[in-house]
């Protein structure tokens, strides 16, 4: 082998090189194994309620107990807090007092979808349909003409709760929002992409047989109501007190001849929720600092509501942990650090114009840190400090985590937000980290297995810090 030239030596020393991480067969094999569990999580936890149930069941199996703010805890004790079945906090007490700061991994378990309106069922042209209101940032045209499954809960007049999942078993029926045939779409083609399908027109087809009685009007609607009543004991008024969500009916699949990628509904943000959950469940021994995984709801609509991270439930939880040790909650918050685990946009060769190649996250380049999100002059972001980015960079390198920096689009072209700014409001140091996603918010999003695993390794390292 020839000697390196002076230029080559300087290049190595001075320049920052970005690289594909999938060169180590052992790591790739580990990533593939890790992602088998991830695919199960995707299929079993398509809604925030199902993902929360999954997390709680897995935590109980690992010895986590419901958190009791009047109890005493020792280092190594494991607790969980179930916030209304839609968000979950898991914690493992560390050797250091909580007041010295905790390590938080925060991800969200809600995803863009189609919600039913409070009064959804109607009949038109002898077909029965559901009225809907989309949830989160969806490109509406992507949600027509694909099989949809119905998930959620209904609270009946007597207060009993009925859980519903229809469309996931291949023998189940499913549902669909119809689209216009191209032959008759001349006017639709002229509309902008955003207006091609109008929100109020996203009505879901749910049946067409009439109830066999000539005396009733709207016999198709009646027939559907009768089927629903016979199966679930639900009447039309019960839909008012319900949370029913339509999600794509397909399952997670490997993508590519090499199976290096996963296509699925709901990667945003199960792809960070699962590594955050596994990192705390698999944590061996007692951590130095108390570690916390938060799986939050409502991120896709701005983190509002009492299950979203703009609410105070995480703050009160950390304060409680400090207080039961006789410590100060606000000091604990101020000393804490958080990885806000959420997805980033992967550079897509089909759409090279929207991302800055030099700063965008690449598929298979590992966990993507995002210093800032926001839009138009970094508006609406927490913008992690150089000191904290430096600390995380050292931590990742010391633990052989393949990482990269990402950005949510070119300047003034797009933008977005995560829970990071709400975490920052608590006084914690926080930076976004996550998996780069192709087709984000589409019914079928794509991620790389290697990147999923690197986010897991990143959070694992963070929890040991
Ligand atoms: Mn997200
Ligand atoms: Mn999102």
Nearest ligand to residue 108 Cα:
1
Residue bearing the bigger pLDDT, 95 or 374: 95
How high is the pLDDT of residue 127?
98
How confident is the model over 121-148, as a mean pLDDT?
98
DSSP string of 73-130, one letter each residue:
--TT-EEEEEETTTEEEEEE--SS-GGG-EEEEEEE----EEEEEEEEEEEETTEEEE
Question: What is the rounded distance in angstroms from the CA atom of residue 81 to the CA atom of residue 79?
Answer: 7
Nearest ligand to residue 135 Cα:
2
Question: 299: CA distance to ligand 1 center in Å?
Answer: 7
- pLDDT tens across 4-44, in order? 999 999 999 999 888 899 999 999 999 999 999 999 999 99
How confident is the model over 93-103, as a mean pLDDT?
98
Question: 442: CA distance to ligand 2 center in Å?
Answer: 10
Question: 298: CA distance to ligand 1 center in Å?
Answer: 10
Question: 228: CA distance to ligand 1 center in Å?
Answer: 34
- pLDDT tens across 159-189, in order? 999 999 999 999 999 999 999 999 999 999 9
pLDDT value at 416 more than 70? yes
Question: 146: CA distance to ligand 1 center in Å?
Answer: 23
How confident is the model over 230-253, as a mean pLDDT?
98
Name the residue among 436, 430, 431 with its Cα closest to residue 450: 436
* Domains along the chain with CATH numbers: 8-111+265-464 (3.40.630.10), 113-248 (2.30.250.10)
Q: What are phi and psi of 320, to 5 degrees?
A: -60, -45
Residues 6+ apart with CB under 8 A from 88: 52, 55, 56, 59, 80, 81, 82, 294, 295
Query: What are the structure tokens assigned to 28, written together?
Result: 């790739």
Q: Are 327 and 98 in contact (CB under 8 A)?
A: yes
Q: Are 91 and 60 in contact (CB under 8 A)?
A: no
CA angle in degrees (0–180, nearest 5) for 35-39-41: 110
How confident is the model over 424-428, as a mean pLDDT?
95
Question: 423: CA distance to ligand 1 center in Å?
Answer: 15
- pLDDT tens across 388-400, in order? 999 999 999 999 9
Helix (H, G, I), strand (E, B) or coil at 149: strand
Q: What Rg do the C-alpha atoms of the chain give, in angstroms?
A: 24
Question: 5: CA distance to ligand 1 center in Å?
Answer: 45
How confident is the model over 203-214, as a mean pLDDT?
97
How high is the pLDDT of residue 1?
63
Which H or E element spans position 320? helix 313-323
How high is the pLDDT of residue 267?
98
Question: What is the rounded distance in angstroms from the CA atom of residue 383 to the CA atom of residue 351?
Answer: 26
Give, in order, the Cα–Cα distances in Å from 294 to each of 73, 291, 393, 450: 19, 10, 23, 23
How confident is the model over 351-364, as a mean pLDDT?
95
- Residue 432, number of CB atoms within 10 A of its CB: 30
How many Cα neighbours within 13 Å face the side chain of 110?
29
Question: 267: CA distance to ligand 2 center in Å?
Answer: 9
- pLDDT tens across 260-298, in order? 999 999 999 999 999 999 999 999 889 999 999 999 999
Question: 446: CA distance to ligand 2 center in Å?
Answer: 13
Q: What is the pTM of this model?
A: 0.97
Question: 224: CA distance to ligand 2 center in Å?
Answer: 34
- Do β-strands 161-166 and 148-155 pair in parallel, antiparallel, or remain unpaired? antiparallel
Query: What are the structure tokens assigned to 71, written together?
Result: 């109890």
- Residue 225, number of CB atoms within 10 A of its CB: 19
Residue 407, burial from CB neighbour count under 10 angstroms (0-12, 13-18, 19+): buried
Beta bridge partners of 405: 369
The band of 381, judged by pLDDT with boundaries at 50, 70 and 90, is confident
How confident is the model over 330-340, as a mean pLDDT?
98
How confident is the model over 73-77, as a mean pLDDT?
97
Question: 344: CA distance to ligand 1 center in Å?
Answer: 8
- Do β-strands 261-264 and 445-448 pair in parallel, antiparallel, or remain unpaired? antiparallel
pLDDT value at 383 more than 80? yes
- pLDDT tens across 362-377, in order? 999 999 999 998 888 8
Name the residue among 114, 120, 121 with its Cα closest to residue 150: 114
Percent of the chain with pLDDT over 70: 100
Question: 460: CA distance to ligand 2 center in Å?
Answer: 23
Nearest ligand to residue 440 Cα:
2
DSSP string of 361-403, one letter each residue:
B-TTS-EEEES--BBTTTBT-----HHHHHHHHHHHHHTT--E
- pLDDT tens across 140-158, in order? 999 999 999 999 999 999 9
Nearest ligand to residue 340 Cα:
1
How confident is the prediction for the chain on average, in pLDDT?
A: 96
Nearest ligand to residue 112 Cα:
2
Question: 2: CA distance to ligand 2 center in Å?
Answer: 50
- Residue 1, number of CB atoms within 10 A of its CB: 3
Question: 153: CA distance to ligand 1 center in Å?
Answer: 23
Percent of the chain with pLDDT over 90: 93
Question: 96: CA distance to ligand 2 center in Å?
Answer: 35
Query: Which residues, chain by chain, have CB under 5 Å from ion ligand 2?
Result: 268
pLDDT value at 2 more than 80? no
Q: What are phi and psi of 350, to 5 degrees?
A: -75, -20
Question: 301: CA distance to ligand 2 center in Å?
Answer: 9
């Amino acid at each position: 082998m020839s000697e390196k030239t002076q230029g080559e030596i300087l290049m190595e020393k001075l320049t920052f090189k970005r690289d594909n991480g999938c060169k180590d067969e052992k790591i790739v094999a580990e990533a593939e194994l890790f992602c088998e569990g991830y695919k199960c999580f995707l299929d079993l936890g398509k809604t925030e309620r199902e993902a929360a149930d999954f997390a709680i069941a897995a935590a109980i199996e690992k010895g986590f107990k419901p958190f009791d703010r009047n109890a005493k805890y020792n280092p190594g004790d494991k607790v969980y807090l179930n916030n209304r079945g839609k968000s979950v906090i898991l914690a493992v007490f560390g050797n250091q007092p909580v007041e010295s700061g905790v390590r938080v991994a925060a991800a969200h378990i809600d995803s863009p979808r189609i919600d039913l309106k409070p009064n959804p069922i109607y009949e038109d042209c002898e077909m029965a349909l559901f009225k809907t209101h989309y949830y989160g940032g969806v490109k509406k045209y992507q949600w027509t003409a694909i099989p949809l499954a119905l998930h959620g809960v209904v609270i009946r007049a007597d207060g009993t709760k009925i859980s519903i999942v229809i469309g996931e078993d291949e023998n189940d029926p499913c549902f669909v929002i119809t689209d216009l045939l191209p032959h008759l779409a001349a006017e639709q083609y002229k509309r902008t992409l955003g207006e091609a399908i109008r929100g109020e027109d996203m009505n879901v087809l749910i049946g067409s047989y009439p109830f066999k009685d000539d005396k009733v009007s709207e016999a198709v609607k009646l027939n559907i109501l009768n089927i629903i009543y016979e199966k679930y004991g639900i009447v039309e008024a019960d839909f008012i007190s319900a949370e029913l969500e339509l999600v794509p009916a397909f399952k997670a699949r490997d993508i590519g001849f090499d199976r290096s990628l996963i296509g699925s509904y709901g990667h945003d943000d199960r792809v960070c929720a699962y590594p955050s959950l596994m990192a705390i469940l698999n944590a061996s021994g007692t951590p130095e600092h108390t570690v916390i995984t938060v799986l939050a709801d409502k991120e896709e609509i701005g983190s509002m509501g009492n299950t979203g991270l703009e609410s105070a439930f995480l703050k009160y939880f950390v304060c409680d942990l400090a207080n039961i040790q006789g410590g100060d909650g606000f000091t604990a918050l101020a000393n804490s650090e958080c990885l806000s685990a959420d997805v980033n946009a992967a550079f897509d060769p089909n759409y090279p114009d929207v991302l800055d190649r030099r700063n965008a996250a690449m598929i298979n380049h590992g966990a993507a840190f995002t210093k800032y999100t926001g839009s138009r002059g970094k508006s609406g972001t927490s913008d992690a400090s150089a000191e904290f980015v430096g600390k995380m960079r050292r931590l990742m390198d010391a633990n052989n985590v393949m990482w990269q920096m990402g950005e949510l689009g070119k300047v003034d072209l797009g933008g977005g937000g995560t829970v990071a700014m709400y975490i920052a409001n608590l006084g914690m140091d926080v930076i976004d980290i996550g998996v780069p996603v192709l087709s984000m918010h589409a019914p079928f999003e794509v991620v790389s297995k290697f990147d999923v695993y690197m986010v897991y390794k990143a959070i694992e390292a963070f929890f040991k810090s």
